[in-house]
Structure 1
Amino acid sequence: MTQAPIKNKIVSTRVTANIQDRARKNLADQGLTVSEYIRLALVKAANNEVQLVNFLDSSEALEAKREAETDQLETIGDLNDFNDWIEKINED
């Protein structure tokens, strides 16, 4: 009985051109391509070797929560300012 060839799967994702360019440069400095890095990351995820970071437990997040719970808030803008900030982040 012959073994069937292993079929490769293609995984794709979308990022901004700026992020792709920066990632490509930083990974090249370490001798990796973006594809190689993603492949390594997926192998680690498949082997349950990924430790996710819970940003809600960071010292900054806990301090912000404490400030909100004790009404120590400072208004720094409105919803339009927030939307402008999000658009600027997406451009980067």
Structure 2
Amino acid sequence: MSNSVIKNKTVSTCVTEDISEKAKDNLAKQGLTVSEYIRLSLIKAANNEVRLVSFLDSPEAIKAKNEAETGQVSTIGSSNDFDAWIDKIDTD
């Protein structure tokens, strides 16, 4: 008889229904469930086998940074406009 103890940890995350369904459909095409994919991803992360993606290094982000640094920007509204826009999103 073995004295080893199997420990299980449940990890959960929240995403929109649309993201969940798209992920489920795409992973099924590769023969994986969402749970299997997450488990495999966590194993890779634990073994330091993942390459993190920096969205700040994307061509779009670099271009936007360059435009901001060289003053090639325009104001399209005030911070109050932004707050109103966020409030509208929250109520929709």
Q: TM-score, structure 1 length as denominator?
A: 0.78
Paired residue secondary structure (1:31): coil
Q: Which residue of structure 1 lines up, in the alignment, with residue 47 of structure 2?
A: 47
> In 2 relative to 1, CA 28–76 (structure 1 residues): closer, same or farther, beyond 3 Å?
farther
Q: Which residue of structure 1 lines up, in the alignment, with residue 25 of structure 2?
A: 25
Q: Which residue of structure 2 lines up, in the alignment, with residue 70 of structure 1?
A: 70
1:12-46 per-residue CA deviation (whole Å, 9 max, x = no partner) reads 11111111111111111111000000000000000
Q: Distance in 1 between matches of 2:73 and 2:45?
A: 39
Which runs of at least 4 in structure 1 moved beyond 4 Å after TM superposition?
none
RMSD (CA atoms): 2.4
Q: TM-score, structure 2 length as denominator?
A: 0.78
Which consecutive unaligned segments of at least 5 residues does structure 2 have?
Answer: none
Q: Distance in 2 between matches of 1:52 and 1:37?
A: 16
